[in-house]
Structure formats: C-alpha cells, structure tokens
C-alpha cells in the first residue's frame, strides 16, 4: 500500500519531468526562455553542494521557522483567551474574518517601514500569514471539546484551569497541529514571495530575483524554484509524520468512529 | 455525623421557563444503594448533576454528610453513561484511573499502584498500559468504574452507566456494582431507565415523575442476598416489584404526588 503509493508518486514525477523535457526539445517552447528539465535538474544538483546557495536557503528557513513558531504560540494563546468566554469569542469572530483574507503580501510596504531589519519585517509577515489558520483551527477545536470529558474532570474536583490544561488543550492539539501544517506551507510561500518582491539579495527568493535580472539565467531561476518546492514537500512530510506519531490516539478514535 | 449520607430538600431546577425538578425531597442513608428510575424527561440527569455540584439548582438544597453542597464535593465520584467520551484517549488506562488521584496527593508511584489495584478489582489486571480505545465498550466502562473506585468516594453517582453496552456485559457490570457495594460499603445512587435493573441492583427504588419532576414513589427492595442474575430475576417478589415499578413509571407522566410504600 505504502510502497505502491511511493512508486506511483515517483512515476508521476518522472512523467512530469519527461513532459517538461519534451515540450522544450520538440521546439514547442523556446529553449532560450525555458531550459529543458534535464538542464534545470543538473543546475539544481550543482546548487545542492553550493555553500553560498545553501546559506541563502538557511536564511529563508530561519525567517520562516521563526515566524511560524511565534505565530503558533500567539495563535494558541489568543485562541485560549477568546474561547474563555462566549461573548469574547463572538466579538472577535468578525475581526478575525475581516483580517484573515488580507494577503500578507499586501502588507509588505507596511512591514518595510515598520521594521528596521529586513529579516524582522519578513518574520512579521510570515507571523501574520501563519497566525490565521492556526487561530481558526484552535477556536473550532476548543469549541468542540467534548463536554462529557470536561464534566468528568470537574466532577473529580478539578478547577477551570486544570480542565483547560488536562482536557481542552490535549483534545484540541491534533487540530492545532493541522493548522500549523497548513500555516507552514502558507508561511513558506510568504517568505519566498517577500524576498522576491521586496528586493535584497538574500534568501531563496532573493536568489530567484537575482537570477532573473540582467539578461537572466532561467536555468538557475527554475533550479531555485525546484528547491523551494522540495523544501515545502519536506516540511509537509515532517509535520505529517510528527502528527501521526503524536496523535495516534486521535487517528485511532476517528477510524473507530467511521 | 448525620445518619443520612444525603439529604435533598425542596430541590427545584428550571432551564428558562421549563421546570425540570420541583420541590423534590429525598433521604439516602449511609451505605444504601438507591436506584432512580423514571420516564425520559423526568430530570434524572439534572438531579445527579445537582448532587455532583455540576449544576447549581434554582432552589432548595442538597446536604451531603451534614454539609450543604456549594460546588463539587470532595468525597464524590461520577460514572457517566458515555464511557468513550468520559475517558481521555491520549492517556493509558492506568493514567486515566490515576488522574483524579492527583487531587488526593501522594507520589506518582502510589497513584499508579492505587490505579492498578482498582483495575484488578474490576477484572482488568494487565490492561493498564493499553489505551481506552483499544478496549471493548464493556471494558471501557469497567475502566471508568475503576477510576471512580480508586478515588475512594463515600458517594458514588452512576448516570445510566450500562445504557450503551450489550446485554451480557450489562449483567456482568450490574454484578460488579453489587460486589463493590458489598465490599466497599459506599453509598451508591444509580440512575437507570431499565426497570428490571433498578429492582435487581437496588436496596430501594425511587420512581421519579415528570412535568415537573419529583419523587412519585419509593419502594424498598427485600430480595434475598446475594442477588443472582438467574434466581433473583425468577423470584416472585422480583416479578411483582418490577410490575409495580413498571406501572408507576408508565403512569409517571401524570402530575407528581408522593406515595410511600412501607
């Protein structure tokens, strides 16, 4: 089952690469503008041992991870506070729904003038973009905590805070983790886009932007994009694996219910 | 110390305009096992929640061991019908049972030992390291009973505890409750909608009426001990009692008036 899924995935990747190669080789697309897939992959392989490029990747990952971590802490805390009283939850709901669809990229100018260092500004944008999916998931998860579980602990004399820590938080954790996983992908897009748009020469986005200017090196540009995509894939895979491990009880419960 | 474990005086509770319990009164002597039956909507669960301090009644008072209840009393444990929702799926069976013991103090090792002892007493020795969702429904309800027992309450409340298990398991669990009651001597209030069960386990059956809820009848049960699933249920007194309770429950939709049979 697992092996056949991996095998099919590999077939899909090979097929996509073959199509990309053919489109260029047959002259359907200008080879000057879009280099063939084999060239892009060779460049990507070269870049994987290029210390300067790896430093750029490191810079991107640092900003992304910092923003994601801050967003997780802030969103879970805010979720707990907003869930503590029904009126507070209702009052906050509209504010959240208005702020949430604002694309983080629309706030780039604001971030540039508000923060002295570029990486601070980028972290702030990642933080902004990542907060919403985590906050929304936290709010819904806390609202749906089983009242019987809460009553059970209360009947054994546990107070409000103890019930929050021992029931509400653990039972919400799988949904919060899903929010974090969604936020991780969103955050990666935001950090690369910010680097790309806001100028500067650092990060994966900075590399992409540099390889596009002055005549352009589309093979390097696309190779950089391949790495950005792989980074996203790895992040998603790691978070999914962590969720499966930590929340085995949750998966077992939902499987038993269906 | 009062001779009554529990004294309920003029207990009234309304949700908005709807009065669920009206001026209900009940005495429960120490060590008694009282079955509470009634038609649906008679306020059985509300009554239990008021005693457990989970719901603050609109009027009247509940006195436990000589002290009026204000908040959740210390010496009380509840077994809920929904064992799968009442047990925490991220904790092992042993940690579920040991969790309430944190309120009693003691070291981690002591809590674990007490949990293992309680699990053994309900026939679940060796299941402590499993997770609740790895057990059958009947076993999960045994775990919640073990959790209540480990807490060593002087009053055990059971809210339709066997409503979601199969017939065979139900009989086993009824006998488990009878044994626990005999061995530990704790006072037990068992809410059920099963008339046979109310007679089989109870020292006394309290029938609640509806609209508004209140005590409609109290029937002492004098059946030979120890009770046995086959012989007790065939006993002429059992048969006549269950018929009487059944008639009372069917008629319990009528306005409440108290009949005491002695």
Looking at residues A249-255, what average pLDDT do you find?
Answer: 72
Estimate the crossing angle of helix A218-246 against helix A51-83, to 10 degrees.
40
Q: Dump pLDDT digits (tens) for B3-34.
A: 889 999 999 998 888 888 888 899 999 999 99
- For B:91-120, CB contacts with A below 8 A are 99-100, 103
Beta-strand relationship, B76-79 and B259-260: unpaired
- State whether A252 and B103 contact (CB < 8 Å): no
pLDDT over 60 at A256, yes or no = no
- State whether A155 and B54 contact (CB < 8 Å): yes
The rounded distance, in Å, linking the Cα atoms of A72 and A11 is: 36
* Residue A11 CB neighbours (<10 A): 10
Chain B: give the shortest CA distance to residue A248, in Å: 8
Q: Is the CB of B134 inside 8 Å of chain A's CB atoms?
A: yes
Q: Residue A208: enclosing H or E segment and its boundaries?
A: helix A203-212
Q: Dump pLDDT digits (tens) for A79-104.
A: 999 988 888 888 888 888 888 888 88
Enumerate long-range contacts of A78-85, CB under 8 Å, 24 or more apart.
A78/A131, A78/A135, A78/A138, A79/A134, A79/A135, A79/A138, A79/A139, A79/A142, A79/A176, A80/A138, A80/A142, A80/A164, A80/A168, A80/A169, A82/A139, A83/A138, A83/A139, A83/A142, A83/A143, A83/A168
- State whether A256 and B131 contact (CB < 8 Å): no
pLDDT band at A169 (very low <50, low <70, confident <90, very high): very high
Chain A: give the shortest CA distance to residue B78, in Å: 7
- State whether A155 and B76 contact (CB < 8 Å): yes
Q: Which has the minimum average pLDDT: A92-96, A236-240, B45-49, B117-121?
A: A92-96
Quote the pLDDT of residue B195. 92
pLDDT over 70 at B181, yes or no = yes
Residue B256 structure tokens: 């409440």
Per CB-CB distance under 8 Å, the chain B contacts of A156 are 72, 77, 99-100, 103, 151
Q: Is the CB of A154 inside 8 Å of chain B's CB atoms?
A: yes
The percent of residues in chain A predicted with pLDDT above 70, rounded, is: 95
Looking at residues A3-8, what average pLDDT do you find?
Answer: 84
Quote the pLDDT of residue B260. 58
Closest by CA to B88, choosing from A97, A165, A236, is: A165
Quote the pLDDT of residue A215. 59
Looking at residues B121-145, what average pLDDT do you find?
Answer: 91
The percent of residues in chain B predicted with pLDDT above 90, rounded, is: 53
Chain B: give the shortest CA distance to residue A154, in Å: 7
The rounded distance, in Å, linking the Cα atoms of A110 and A125 is: 10
Residue A164 structure tokens: 């929050």
Placement of tokens 């809410």 in the chain: B191
- State whether A170 and B90 contact (CB < 8 Å): yes
Chain A: give the shortest CA distance to residue B54, in Å: 7
The rounded distance, in Å, linking the Cα atoms of B47 and A115 is: 60
Quote the pLDDT of residue B174. 92
Q: Dump pLDDT digits (tens) for A119-161.
A: 888 899 999 999 999 999 999 999 999 999 999 999 999 998 8
Chain B: give the shortest CA distance to residue A71, in Å: 25
* Residue A105 CB neighbours (<10 A): 17
pLDDT band at B165 (very low <50, low <70, confident <90, very high): confident
Looking at residues A218-232, what average pLDDT do you find?
Answer: 85
Residue B223 structure tokens: 């059946």
pLDDT band at A257 (very low <50, low <70, confident <90, very high): very low
- State whether A170 and B99 contact (CB < 8 Å): no
Q: Residue A24: enclosing H or E segment and its boundaries?
A: helix A2-25
pLDDT over 90 at B157, yes or no = yes
β-strand partners of B67? B64
Q: What is the mean pLDDT of chain B?
A: 88
Q: Is the CB of B45 inside 8 Å of chain A's CB atoms?
A: no
Q: Could you say which of A155, A171, A256 has the minimum Cβ distance to residue B77?
A: A155
DSSP classification of residue B157: E
pLDDT band at A210 (very low <50, low <70, confident <90, very high): confident
pLDDT band at B199 (very low <50, low <70, confident <90, very high): very high
- Please name the residue of chain B whose CA is at the shortest distance from the CA of residue A159: B72
Is residue A33 a contact partner of residue A221, using CB atoms and an 8 Å limit?
no
Q: Which has the minimum average pLDDT: A29-38, A66-75, B101-110?
A: A29-38
Give the 3-state secondary structure of residue A126. helix
Closest by CA to A84, choosing from A35, A130, A145, is: A145
What are the angstrom distances between the C-alpha of B145 and each of B105, B148, B213? 20, 5, 28
Q: A213 versus B226: which is more confidently predicted? A: B226
CATH code of A51-257, in short, is 1.10.3720.10
Is residue B27 a contact partner of residue B4, using CB atoms and an 8 Å limit?
yes
What are the angstrom distances between the C-alpha of A180 and each of A65, A183, A249? 11, 5, 19
pLDDT band at A258 (very low <50, low <70, confident <90, very high): very low
Q: Is the CB of B52 inside 8 Å of chain A's CB atoms?
A: yes
- State whether A249 and B133 contact (CB < 8 Å): yes
- For A:29-68, CB contacts with B below 8 A are none
Q: Could you say which of B76, B85, B90 has the minimum Cβ distance to residue A148?
A: B85
* Residue A124 CB neighbours (<10 A): 21
Q: A217 versus B83: which is more confidently predicted? A: B83
Q: Is the CB of A156 inside 8 Å of chain B's CB atoms?
A: yes
Spans of all domains in chain B: 4-75+155-260, 89-152
Closest by CA to B252, choosing from B174, B204, B197, B195, is: B195
pLDDT over 70 at B254, yes or no = no
- State whether B80 and A249 contact (CB < 8 Å): no
Beta-strand relationship, B214-220 and B18-29: unpaired
Quote the pLDDT of residue A11. 92
Q: What is the mean pLDDT of chain A?
A: 86
Quote the pLDDT of residue A197. 81
Q: Could you say which of A146, A152, A256 has the minimum Cβ distance to residue B133?
A: A256
Per CB-CB distance under 8 Å, the chain B contacts of A154 are 54, 72
Supply angle C-alpha B105, B7, B43, rounded to 5: 95
CATH topology of domain B4-75+155-260: Rossmann fold (3.40.50)
* Residue B164 CB neighbours (<10 A): 16
Q: A105 versus A173: which is more confidently predicted? A: A173
């Amino acid at each position: 089952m697992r092996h056949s899924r991996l095998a099919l995935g590999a077939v899909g990747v090979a097929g996509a690469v073959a199509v990309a190669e053919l489109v260029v080789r047959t002259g359907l697309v200008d080879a000057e503008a879009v280099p063939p897939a084999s060239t892009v992959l060779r460049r990507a392989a070269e870049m994987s041992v290029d210390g300067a490029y790896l430093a750029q990747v490191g810079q991107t990952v640092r900003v992304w991870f910092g923003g994601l971590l801050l967003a997780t802490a802030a969103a879970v805390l805010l979720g707990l506070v907003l869930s503590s009283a029904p009126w507070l939850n209702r009052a906050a709901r509209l504010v959240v729904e208005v702020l949430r669809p604002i694309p983080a990229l629309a706030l780039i100018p604001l971030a540039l003038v508000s923060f002295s260092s570029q990486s601070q500004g980028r972290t702030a944008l990642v933080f902004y973009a990542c907060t919403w999916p985590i906050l929304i998931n936290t709010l819904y998860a806390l609202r749906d905590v089983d009242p019987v579980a809460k009553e059970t602990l209360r009947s054994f004399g546990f107070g409000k805070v103890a019930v929050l820590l021992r029931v509400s938080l653990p039972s919400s954790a799988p949904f919060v983790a899903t929010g974090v996983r969604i936020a991780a992908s969103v955050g990666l897009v935001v950090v690369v886009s910010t680097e790309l748009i806001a100028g500067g020469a650092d990060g994966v986005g900075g590399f992409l932007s540099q390889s596009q200017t002055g005549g352009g090196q589309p093979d390097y540009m696309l190779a950089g994009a391949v790495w950005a995509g792989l980074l996203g894939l790895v992040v998603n895979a790691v978070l999914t694996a962590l969720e499966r491990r930590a929340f085995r009880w949750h998966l077992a419960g939902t499987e038993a219910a269906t | 110390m009062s001779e009554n474990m529990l004294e309920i005086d003029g207990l009234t509770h309304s949700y908005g305009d709807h009065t669920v319990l009206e001026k209900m009164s009940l005495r429960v002597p120490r060590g008694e096992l009282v079955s509470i039956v009634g038609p649906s909507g008679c306020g059985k669960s509300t009554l239990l929640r008021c005693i457990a301090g989970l719901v603050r009644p609109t009027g009247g008072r509940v006195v436990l061991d000589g002290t009026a209840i204000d908040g959740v009393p210390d010496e009380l444990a509840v077994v809920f019908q929904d064992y799968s929702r009442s047990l925490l799926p991220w904790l092992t069976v042993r940690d579920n049972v040991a969790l309430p013991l944190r309120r009693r103090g003691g070291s981690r090792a002591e809590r674990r030992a007490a949990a293992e002892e309680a699990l053994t007493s309900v026939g679940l020795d060796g299941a402590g390291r499993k997770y609740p969702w790895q057990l059958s429904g009947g076993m999960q309800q045994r775990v919640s009973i073990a959790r209540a027992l480990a807490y060593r309450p002087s009053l055990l409340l059971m809210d339709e505890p066997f409503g979601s298990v199969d017939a065979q398991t139900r009989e086993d669990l009824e006998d488990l409750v009878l044994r626990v009651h005999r061995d530990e001597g704790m006072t037990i209030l068992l809410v059920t909608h099963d008339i046979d069960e109310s007679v089989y386990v109870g020292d006394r059956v309290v029938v609640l009426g509806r609209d508004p809820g209140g005590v409609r009848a109290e029937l002492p049960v004098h059946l030979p001990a120890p009770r046995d699933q086959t012989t007790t249920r065939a006993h002429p007194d059992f048969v006549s009692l269950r018929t009487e309770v059944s008639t009372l429950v069917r008629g319990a939709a009528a306005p409440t008036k108290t009949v005491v049979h002695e």
